[in-house]
Each structure stands twice: as structure tokens, then as C-alpha cells.
């Protein structure tokens, strides 16, 4: 007698596949990464990241007159229609390169005097937040790769194929976007954020790192940095100052974000064990002490989302502004009464706590933002440009006596 198993086995396989599909369909969708670390008692919290508008605002939709600055200063719309305008860097020939983390593009803005022309020079990139410029070349950072566009200002209408500089960075999307800047030592610095809201990160994450311009010589500069997407060097001491985003879901008023200084290589700034320099994490801080880690130079406010860090070195502003720090603060989402949405200023004082104050505000109305200021960059005349990724705009801030 010959047994035939083919048909019954095939039928059984179809039944098992159907059952697996049915079980999968009944499983809840995975929670978004920003909910990681949310306590059970806050599972129904309405707090959520501020959604990016689908398109940049038209010039007539940007209420410049609502931005308040100190007497003598003026704010004007310098460029618009730049979807998710983020980091800005000048080319040698006067081209302003602007990144777009959300749109996955890099723009080139050419100044025609009374108007600006905006061109897309790179697209289809994965969260390209970081851009830097040196010796005629533009460096662009995706999540896991850094590219170099050589002689780019001569080819804005037909950008050259980029050269791959570094391609072994982590691929995690949470806090994976980079900030790029060349330090006084000629090395290229960038952040590698924690792949989570709160966790014990791999040694490869939660740091600020650096490489040589050709991609060689990788090394870690600072550790225990949850997520820093903005830094600059003191014009005199050459020490690295950086903004740090603290964890979410610990409380509406804690922990505070930070402004830090890393004068030497190898310091640990506390994440995930200690927050804001004096609060141990309820889970990962057990058995640790905040005294083990570098304290913040300044607590900048809970969930305030400091991005841009820039020492003012221009000559247009009053003399007391020289070497002050401008902090672009996108603003809170993990807080019912939102704060931030402003350009803050820090005055360093030898032997004393830095002075911390608002320089420009007005992007938040009735707890709802119409813009989110991010990064600043100097203009040749000493004025500064400020990017707004929410409105898709760039503002010029000038001073006249």
C-alpha cells in the first residue's frame, strides 16, 4: 500500500500560514520610538512630538513682527520655502548650504542681493542633518555615512557625485541624525546619539566623536551624551561647548536639558545614570552617584531641545556680545506648558555661573508654535542668520546703533 502525504501536508501548511497571519493581525502595532520609557501611568498622555508641517510656510504666512529682540536689533525674513531648514554653513564663494533632516535634502542658497535663489543639490538622503565646509568641499552626514562633495560651488546646477568618507556609523534612527563641524584641530566632529529615550546604550552610542577629514583616525571625544546636535568651540580657549537633550518621560519639569563643556577627551557626562547633573535615573542610576560624572555648565530647562550652539565673533553687535553663546532652542514637546521656541544667549563669567537669558522669542503663541528656531551662522557683516525648520525659513538678525 502506498501512502500519499503531499496533499494533506500542503493543506496543513496553508492552515498554519493562515493562523500565523491571523495572530499577527491581532498583535498591536509597535509603539513609536518616542514612547520608549513612558511609564504605565502615562500611557494615555496626550503629549507627543510636534508634527512637522507638510510644506514650508509662504512668506506672507510668517509673522516676522511677532519675533521680539532687544532694542537696536532687527529681524527680517532672509529666505523662505526651504523645507525643514536646519544646519547652515557657508561655502568659500558665498553659497549658504542648508540641510533638511525631514525632507532628506541639502539646499544651496545663493544671494542675489535683494533676493535669494534656492537649489536642491542632494536628495534622497537619510536624515541629513549635519553639513560642514572646508577647502572647497561640502561634507554631509546621513545617519550611518558621511559624504564629501568636492568643488561643489562650481557645480550647483549639476552637483558632482559625492565621495564616501565614512560608512561604518550605527544605523539606528532614534537620535541617529548628526551634527558636523570642523574643530580648531582640523578634525571633523559629530555626535552619535543614544538609540533610545532611556537605556544602557552600546559603547558605540551616546557620545561625541571625531575623525580626520579623510575618514581615518576615528576616536571618541566625550561619553555619556544622550543626544547633542549642536556644538562650537570657544574662540579663545578652543574648548568644546555643546547642547544636550535630556531624557523624556521622567517628569514635565525634570530633567533639564544642558549646556556642557568638554575641555579634554574622555569625560563622561552621565547618561543614562545621572540626569541634569544631580538626578539619578530611577532604573539605571541605582548604585551610582552623580559625582562620578562631569556636571553641566548650565541647566537650560526641561525638554527645551537646545540645538544650535554658536559663539558670536562678529563685529556688528555691541562689544559686550563678543564671545557670547547663542543657543537655538526648538522647544519642548514632553511638557504640557511648552517652553523654548526661542533663541537664548549665554554669557560666560570667570569664576561665576554663566548668565542665561532670552535673546529672541515670539515663535510660541498660546502654547502653540508657529516656528521652531534651530541653528545660527555668522554673516560677513557681523549679522547672524537663524534657521526655522518648522516654518521652513531663515531669518537675518542685525543691529544698528
The residue behind cell 523654548 is: 340
Phi, psi dihedral angles at 6 (to 5 degrees): -55, -55
Partners of 344 in the β-ladder: 327, 358
| Distance between CA atoms of residues 108 and 89, nearest Å | 10
Nine-digit cell string for 171 = 544605523
Phi, psi of 148 (to 5 degrees): -130, 130
User: Who's near 385: CB < 8 A, 6+ residues apart?
Assistant: 78, 88, 96, 376, 377, 378, 379, 394, 395, 396, 397
- What pLDDT score does 261 carry? 98
How far is the first Cα of the chain from the last one, in angstroms, to the nearest whole number?
106
On whether the CB atoms of residues 378 and 358 are closer than 8 A, the answer is no
**Residue 158 has which C-alpha cell?**
549639476
* Contact in structure between 138 and 128 (CB atoms under 8 Å): no
Q: What ranges in 244-325 are assigned the alpha helix state H?
A: none
Q: Give the other-Cβ count within 10 Å of 225's Cβ.
A: 31
Query: H-helix or E-strand containing 130?
Result: strand 130-134
Residue 2 is predicted with a pLDDT of: 47
Distance CA 92, CA 249 (A): 44
Name 92's bridge partners: none
3-state helix vs strand vs coil in the chain, percent to 5: 10, 35, 55
Do 271 and 224 form a contact (C-beta atoms < 8 A)? yes
**DSSP assignment, residue 105?**
E
Say if CB 183 and CB 239 are below 8 A apart: no
One digit per residue, pLDDT tens: the chain, 401 residues? 444 445 555 555 555 565 555 544 555 577 899 999 999 999 999 999 999 999 999 999 999 999 999 999 999 999 999 999 999 999 999 999 999 999 999 999 998 877 899 999 999 999 999 999 999 999 999 999 999 999 999 999 999 999 999 999 999 999 999 999 999 999 999 999 999 999 999 999 999 999 999 999 999 999 999 999 999 999 999 999 999 999 999 999 999 999 999 999 999 999 999 999 999 999 999 999 999 999 999 999 999 999 999 999 999 999 999 999 999 999 999 999 999 999 999 999 999 999 999 999 999 999 999 999 999 999 999 999 999 999 999 999 999 98
- Give pLDDT, residue 28: 58
DSSP-derived secondary structure letter, 68: B
**308 closest CA partner among 72, 130, 172, 153:** 130
Which of 94, 193, 192, 180 lies closest to 140, judged by CA? Answer: 180
Q: How far apart are CA 379 and CA 359, in angstroms?
A: 18
Domain limits of the chain?
Answer: 71-399
| Pairwise CA distance, residues 369 & 254, whole Å | 21
Q: How far is CA 52 from CA 84, 133, 152, 396, in A?
A: 8, 27, 29, 23
Can you tell me the distance from the alpha carbon of 383 to that of 385, in angstroms, rounded to the nearest whole number? 7
Using an 8 Å Cβ cutoff, are 354 and 346 in contact?
A: yes
Q: Where are the alpha helices (DSSP H) in 278-368?
A: none
pTM for this structure? 0.93
Domain 71-399 adopts which CATH fold? Neuraminidase (2.120.10)
**DSSP character at residue 361:** B
Closest to 323 measured CA to CA, from 256, 245, 378:
378
**Residue 311 in 3-state DSSP?**
strand
φ/ψ (deg, to 5) at 157 = -85, -15
Q: Residue 160 contacts by C-beta under 8 Å, 6 or more apart in sequence?
A: 149, 150, 151, 152
Residue-level pLDDT at 79: 96
- Specify whether the CB–CB gap between 122 and 98 falls below 8 A: no
Amino acid at each position: 500500500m502506498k501512502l500519499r502525504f503531499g496533499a494533506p501536508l500542503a493543506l496543513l501548511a496553508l492552515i498554519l500560514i493562515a493562523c500565523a497571519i491571523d495572530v499577527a493581525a491581532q498583535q498591536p502595532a509597535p509603539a513609536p520610538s518616542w514612547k520608549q520609557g513612558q511609564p504605565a501611568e502615562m500611557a494615555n498622555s496626550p503629549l507627543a512630538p510636534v508634527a512637522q508641517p507638510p510644506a514650508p510656510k509662504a512668506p506672507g504666512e510668517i509673522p516676522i513682527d511677532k519675533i521680539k529682540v532687544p532694542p537696536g536689533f532687527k529681524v527680517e525674513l532672509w529666505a523662505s520655502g526651504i523645507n525643514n531648514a536646519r544646519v547652515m554653513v557657508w561655502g568659500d564663494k558665498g553659497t549658504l548650504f542648508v540641510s533638511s533632516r525631514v525632507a532628506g535634502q541639502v539646499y544651496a542658497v545663493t544671494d542675489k542681493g535683494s533676493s535669494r535663489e534656492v537649489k536642491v543639490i542632494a536628495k534622497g538622503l537619510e536624515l541629513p542633518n549635519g553639513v560642514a565646509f572646508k577647502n572647497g568641499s561640502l561634507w554631509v552626514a546621513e545617519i550611518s555615512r558621511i559624504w564629501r562633495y568636492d568643488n561643489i560651488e562650481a557645480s550647483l546646477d549639476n552637483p558632482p557625485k559625492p565621495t564616501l568618507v565614512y560608512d561604518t556609523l550605527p544605523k539606528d534612527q532614534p537620535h541617529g541624525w548628526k551634527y558636523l563641524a570642523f574643530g580648531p584641530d582640523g578634525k571633523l566632529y559629530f555626535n552619535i546619539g543614544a538609540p533610545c529615550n532611556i537605556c544602557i546604550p552600546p559603547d558605540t552610542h551616546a557620545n561625541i566623536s571625531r575623525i580626520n577629514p579623510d575618514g581615518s583616525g576615528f576616536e571618541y571625544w566625550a561619553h555619556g551624551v544622550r543626544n547633542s546636535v549642536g556644538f562650537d568651540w570657544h574662540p579663545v580657549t578652543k574648548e568644546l561647548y555643546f547642547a544636550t537633550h535630556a531624557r523624556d518621560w521622567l517628569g514635565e519639569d525634570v530633567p533639564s536639558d544642558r549646556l556642557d563643556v568638554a575641555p579634554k577627551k574622555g569625560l563622561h557626562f552621565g547618561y543614562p545614570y545621572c540626569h541634569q547633573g544631580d538626578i539619578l535615573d530611577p532604573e539605571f542610576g541605582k548604585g551610582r552617584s552623580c559625582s562620578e560624572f562631569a556636571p553641566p555648565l548650565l541647566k537650560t530647562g526641561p525638554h527645551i531641545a537646545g540645538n544650535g550652539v554658536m559663539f558670536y565673533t562678529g563685529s556688528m553687535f555691541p562689544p559686550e556680545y563678543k564671545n557670547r553663546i547663542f543657543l537655538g532652542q526648538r522647544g519642548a514637546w514632553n511638557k504640557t506648558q511648552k517652553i523654548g521656541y526661542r533663541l537664548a544667549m549665554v554669557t560666560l563669567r570667570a569664576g561665576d555661573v554663566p548668565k542665561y537669558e532670552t535673546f529672541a522669542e515670539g515663535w510660541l503663541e498660546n502654547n502653540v508654535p508657529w516656528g521652531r528656531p534651530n541653528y545660527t551662522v555668522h554673516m560677513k557683516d557681523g549679522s547672524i542668520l537663524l534657521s526655522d525648520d518648522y516654518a521652513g525659513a531663515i531669518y537675518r538678525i542685525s543691529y544698528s546703533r
